[in-house]
Amino acid sequence: MPALSPTMEEGNIVKWLKQEGETVNVGDALCEIETDKAVVTMESSDDGILAKIMKEEGSKNVRLGTLIGLLVEEGEDWKQVEIPSDTADAPSLSPAAAAAAPSPAIVSPVPKKPEQQPGKLRFRLSPAARNILETHGLDASHSTPSGPRGIFTKEDALKLLDQKQKGKSIEARPVVSPLPAQPTGVPSAPPPASMPRPAIPPVSVPGQRPSVGAFTEAPPSDIRRVIAKRVTESKRTIPHAYATADCDLGAVLKLKKELAKDNIQVSVNDFIIKATASTLKQMPDVNVIWDGEGPRQLQSVDISIAVATDQGLFTPTLKDAATKGVQEIAASVKVLATKAKDGKLPPEEYQGGSFSISNLGMFGISSFTGFVNPPQACFLAVGRTRSELGIVVDEEGNERLQQHQLMTVTLSSDGRMVDDELASKFLKSLKANLENPVRLAL
């Protein structure tokens, strides 16, 4: 299993494109692998014959480095291929860990089943399983775990709970505190009124009507786990700073309407991307990333565009956006968004980027703040366009009311690279570019 993205730790085999016995050439598509970002086609790096498929289609959570197939040279008998013995999924131990690990014990041909003390578990519990056992007072010492590496999973605990509810002989051991002894000669107090036990949210059981407070665990997908990891990393390691500005889009909307008459279809978001790219070109100090020790200024303006999909938020990267026109940006963004929603983004189309943009205006959001996507320096959050009345001064110096089409943008920046002054200058320049779109042609 190869690493097909920088953050990939495991992958799923979606489909094999070659079958056992087929000839394979360099560059041929071998299989489709679902990474934490997208479904990527794995290409062969050698010539030969696909002798053995070690991981079938549908295999889930295959760790990096796990053997998924065997290739032999042409002319060899692929049916007699020797399968390596060390094909376990678990990663190999480091030399230090291997030295510290105890030597394997010699197992007799007929092993004697060790006697187990009541209530003492021979296996590990998952957090969800431990919660279910403790909540319902279940004893899992006589159960057999079904999880990987002998872990007693939530499904095992639910099965045990289901057996208890059906009246099977499952030993439950609630702990009852003994009542303190009453002193001699002291009249006993009347027993207190029975109070209901505090409600503990029960676990939902398939096939039964859910109780009040019942819940069902929704295990995260690989993509959701990566998103959670990145968001946590961003908020934990990056000193965020925020700045907000209102931009008048009257000129952009007028130009967009005129272009539509010539059958040139572009969106407001395309103008925002172009204006941002032009501003980054004018202010290279903002077009930076953090390389671990300090800022690194980039020559190309590559902008990550947030795209919402059923699997999660993707940020395909529009390469060299400053050199593209608004119409070319519109076509490129449309292609990238389609690939992201279909899960067909190759790694080179979502890696990199120096700046991110997310537009929630289409959902009616007036304004919001985003998190900086490391190692980038900035994230621009775009709200909806709204109409507001404002006072303007005409050429004769007279004041009058005029309707403005305003849009709120919020810049989240990494304070290590973009301070408040630089962020303010960036928003001022971006506002000028959006309110005077003729500047984008310069």
Q: pLDDT confidence of 190, banded at 50, 70, 90? A: low
Q: What is the pLDDT of residue 130?
A: 80
Mean pLDDT for the chain overall: 81
Q: Are 370 and 343 in contact (CB under 8 A)?
A: no
Report d(CA 120, CA 13) in Å as an integer. 38
Q: What is the pLDDT of residue 163?
A: 81
Sheet bearing 317-318, strands edge to edge: 240-248, 399-414, 378-393, 355-359, 303-305, 317-318
Task: Give the CA distances from residue 282 to residues 294, 425, 429, in Å, rounded to whole numbers and listed in that order.
Answer: 21, 11, 9
DSSP characters for 238-273? --EEEEEEEEE-HHHHHHHHHHHHTT----HHHHHH
Q: What is the pTM for the complete model shown?
A: 0.62
Q: What is the mean pLDDT of residues 220-246?
A: 89
- Tens digit of each residue's pLDDT (9 = 90 or more) over 379-404: 999 999 999 998 888 888 888 888 99
Pairing of strands 303-305, 355-359: parallel
Distance from chain centroid for Cα 88: 27
Cβ contacts of 260 within 8 Å, gap of 6 or more: none
Name the token pair of 301.
């303006």
Q: What is the mean pLDDT of residues 363-391?
A: 94
Report d(CA 172, CA 164) in Å as an integer. 9
Angle ∠(322,328,330) on CA atoms, nearest 5: 100
Report d(CA 287, CA 285) in Å as an integer. 6
Name the token pair of 6.
């920088």
Q: Is the pLDDT of residue 265 over 70?
A: yes
Sign of the alpha-carbon dihedral angle for 317, 321, 324, 328: positive
**Amino acid letter, residue 358:** S
Q: What is the pLDDT of residue 400?
A: 87
Q: What is the pLDDT of residue 198?
A: 47
- Conformational region of residue 56, where left means phi above 0, alpha means psi within -120 to 50, and beta covers everything else: beta
**Amino acid letter, residue 225:** R
The C-alpha torsion from 331 through 335 and 337 to 338, rounded to 10°, is 140
Q: pLDDT confidence of 262, banded at 50, 70, 90? A: very high
SS (H, E, C) 309-354: CCCCEECCEECCHHHCCHHHHHHHHHHHHHHHHHCCCCHHHCCCCC
What does residue 419 show for φ and ψ, rounded to 5 degrees?
A: -80, 180
DSSP 216: -
